[in-house]
Structure 1
């Protein structure tokens, strides 16, 4: 008997031929990676990896540990990339040079100050030169100059009297600034700088010379006398020296500025010639009938041309070209911040700080309470 029907190809699963039920074998590279991983888990000391060894963890526990280790790996890669991007954004190169010529280092500024800002003898002489209306007592006007100590004495406590009001009114009437008044009643260069020497050559201490001269200045101690430092002259350029040792540099003979009290001595401050003199300056106190020496060891910090050519955002600092200034140092930045803070609080800038423009008025004696309360301590 003959049966008819549809023909179908033979089933390969039942034929046992080449296409039989067999898993695809992994490549040799995959097998090597897997074998290396298992060997690594057996030999490594890294915390947590030993939990991935064969026959150590199973199921959910193995999955959790694998997830934790994978996340830690990704976190380490992320932090590495952040570090690299930060370095790439701020490529700073520090170089220490020991072959800098001494002629390239500016001679330091030397500032001499008297511990006593207001000199009573000078006050008595100065008030006689002022035009004082009849409604003001000359003794009261003289007593008001004591309030100048509020700008320099951190422990200043205002006196019980209010003579500063009369003094301030008289100074306004005579068109005298606080700076001019402070310079007039404080010891000056001629009072405590008597003889000056550069190396072995003597020169006139108060002569009209661009460099070899002492001029009236101000510091955090008030009115002072300075060499190679002129904060009120924006175009001042300090000079560099090519001599060193005890036989070179600056030597001066000083005397206490008070005419009656010779026991307080003088304070000598050594600082960078372009920086306003603050408490951070090296100082030495000279007492009567004594000799003192100040050793200066300069340190020069500079930026490479590659850093200066970076944008302000990448450089993360300001330079002279950014502000269109001839010279701009960190001390100038801190001084500007300090001045801004005082102006915001008291509406003026103290006479002893360098002039920063005409937009801020100078503090007068009526502003001493605000300054002493906020910045005197």
Structure 2
């Protein structure tokens, strides 16, 4: 018992001395005054209060830095490195005639036939279906599908596109444009990825006539990895040849106004959508209108989003974007927010109606394309989707892509003149001016600039910045440094171990050995008593 009390007294005395030595020799500001015996207790209290106040202020400022680190992990700036338009694809362009079907091809259908019912629905797509129509026998027993009907009765691309030239070179429009099914009906698309690279599932539903020229090789591309390092001579999707109208894409379109049956708007013309090469875009809500009898110039600017490699180390919810390969879609081969939302729309409508609309990806192998009977269900589901009432949980998961590419355009138009055309004369020379001004539209797509600067996502406060900020604050208010950490470790652990704990252990071991020898050999007891006494 006496030995235990003596040990506690030794430890207590040593700890006091160790703390006092630490206060005298530490690099932390103000603590040496607490161990100075030459000043009064009031002076020591002053420095103690100053040190505690510095700790409180330091903790508060570090908490603010940490809150900024957590709440704003990413900052968006302008990329310092310009990107050439020659290293990115020319916009994918979708052109749609506002006319849904050609009047000459549906003239023989009566209003009460199955085809006539489908035409009524097609011409009022998106509106509420008449209850009287829904009760008609040809509606209830109608198994016609919109996609098949449109392929057979809509204006084909071969008749819509009179002339196509890109980079001042006139080319066959059939080699550039392909028929695609959109929410606006049958349209023509340019410079979108080949279906083998664009989709995972059945490609015939969306793009049905994809045939390329023998000298054009389709390649894979996405905004993150870009083009392959080794490119063939003629590749697709193609990049721009340069800036200006002469290096852009020029189209001469024929609306065939006398063959109009019904328009998706209040007048004739075309709708044009510009989108990424990895997307099959929607047209009805976002497309530009191209008037007839006008020459229109669309001056294109690129909107690019990039991310640094350090952003990948953050969680997706913190950086609010997804890198390529982090989220696999069911139908589209490449991720983008618009592709993800398109699949969410399909999932929601399929849950409601057990079918997939003709213009949306066929996600599930066993799913069927919606027919006329299911039009009312799909219309109601699409309206709820547009209002945000359905599929909200799925859409929340559709974060933007960390690397993305989109386009915006400024449009200017002028009426087509009655003479001295600048367009190829072989196309228009056999047409009357009345027909041209009534049916023809000329449009030019071209880049404004040869380079662009994208928006760059970077880590706002990384670990290095957080460490430097906290170190600066602690150094300013307390004189804290890495050596201060070493001092605390030394005086708290290493010094007591080497100067107190190990000597005490050594002394106890010697004592135990002496006691054991005393117990085993009684004739040595006087000698051990002598040792203990001395």
Q: Normalising TM by the smaller chain, what interval? A: 0.5 to 0.7
Show the counterpart of 1:179: 147
Counterpart in the other structure of 2:254: 255
Does the alignment pair 1:160 with 2:164?
no
Change (3 A) 1:245 1:36: same
Q: What is the match of residue 116 of structure 1? A: 99
How many angstroms apart in 2 are the aligned matches of 1:300 and 1:233?
25
The Cα of 1:251 is off from its aligned counterpart by 0.5
What are the Cα deviations for residues 142-178 of structure 1, in whole angstroms up to 9, with x where unaligned? 203215528x83335347333334541xx4xxxxx54
Q: Secondary structure at the match of 2:298?
A: coil
Q: Tell me if structure 1 keeps the 8 A contact 2:349–2:356.
A: yes
**CA deviation map 1:43-74 (0-9, x unaligned):** xxxxxxxxxxxxxxxxxxxxxxxxxxx9xx99
1:111-260 residue pairs with structure 2 within 5 A?
111-124=94-107, 140-149=113-122, 153-158=125-130, 160-161=132-133, 162=136, 163-168=138-143, 171=144, 178-207=146-175, 213-229=176-192, 233-235=196-198, 237=221, 238-260=237-259
What is the SS of the residue equivalent to 2:162?
Answer: strand
Q: 1:348 to 1:84 in 2, by over 3 A?
A: same
What's 2:76 paired with?
94
Please, which moves more after superposition, 339-348 or 238-247?
Answer: 238-247
TM superposition shift of 1:370: 0.5
Q: CA deviation at 1:200?
A: 1.6
Counterpart-to-counterpart distance in 2, 1:110 and 1:303: 26
| Cα displacement (A) at 1:290 | 1.2
CA 267–324 in structure 1, closer or farther in 2 if over 3 Å, else same:
closer
Provide the C-alpha distance between the structure 2 equivalents of 1:196 and 1:374, rounded to a whole number of angstroms.
Answer: 39
Task: Please state how far the C-alpha of 1:317 moved relative to its aligned partner.
Answer: 4.2
Question: Which residue of structure 2 aligns with residue 272 of structure 1?
Answer: 276
Give the TM-score normalised by structure 1.
0.66
Counterpart of 2:148 in 1: which secondary structure? helix
Shift in CA distance, 373/94, structure 1 to aligned 2, threshold 3 Å = closer
* Partners of 1:297 and 1:261 in 2: CA distance: 34
More strand by share: 2
> Secondary structure of 2:90's match?
coil
The 5 A counterparts of 1:68-107 are 80=64, 83-84=67-68, 86=70, 91-97=73-79, 98-107=81-90
Shift of 1:256: 0.8
Mean Cα deviation higher: 348-357 or 329-338: 348-357
Other structure's SS at 1:321 match: coil
Q: Please say if residues 346 and 361 of structure 2, whose CA atoms lie closer than 8 Å, have aligned partners that are also in contact.
A: no
RMSD across aligned C-alpha pairs, in angstroms? 3.7
Higher helix share: 2
Query: 1:361 aligned to 361, 365, 368, which one?
Result: 368
Unaligned runs of 5+ in 1: 1-23, 39-69, 128-136, 172-176, 208-212
In structure 2, do the counterparts of structure 1 residues 371 and 257 end up closer, same or farther at CA, with 3 Å as the change threshold? farther
- Greater length-normalized contact order (CA 8 Å, ≥ 6 residues apart): 2
Q: Assess, with a 3 A threshold, how the Cα gap between structure 1 residues 272 and 194 changes in structure 2: closer, same or farther.
A: same
Q: Secondary structure at 2:158's aligned position in 1?
A: helix
Q: 1:138 to 1:116 in 2, by over 3 A?
A: closer
Shift of 1:258: 4.8
Distance of 2:131 and 2:187 partners within structure 1: 25
Secondary structure (helix, strand or coil) at the match of 2:307 reads coil
Distance 2:312 2:58 in 1: 36
8 Å Cα contact 1:114/1:257 also seen in 2 = no
Provide the residue aligned with 2:526 in structure 1.
Answer: none
CA contact (8 A) 1:220 1:277 kept: no
Task: Determine the C-alpha separation between the residues in 1 that align with 2:324 and 2:84.
Answer: 23
CA distance in 1, matches of 2:66, 2:269: 57
- TM-aligned CA distance change 1:141 to 1:124, over 3 Å: farther
- Name the SS of the counterpart of 1:224 in structure 2: strand
Kindly tell me: are residues 145 and 118 of structure 1, through their superposed partners in 2, closer, same or farther at Cα, counting changes over 3 Å? farther
**1:285 shift after superposition:** 2.3
Greater Cα shift, 308-317 or 196-205: 308-317
Distance 1:156 1:216 in 2: 28
Q: Which runs of 5+ in 2 are unaligned?
A: 1-38, 199-219, 222-236, 262-266, 387-534
Superposition deviation, residue 194 in structure 1 = 1.1
Preserved CA contact (<8 Å) 1:231 1:354: no
Q: Deviations over 1:270-299 (max 9, x none)?
A: 222222323598643233321111111002
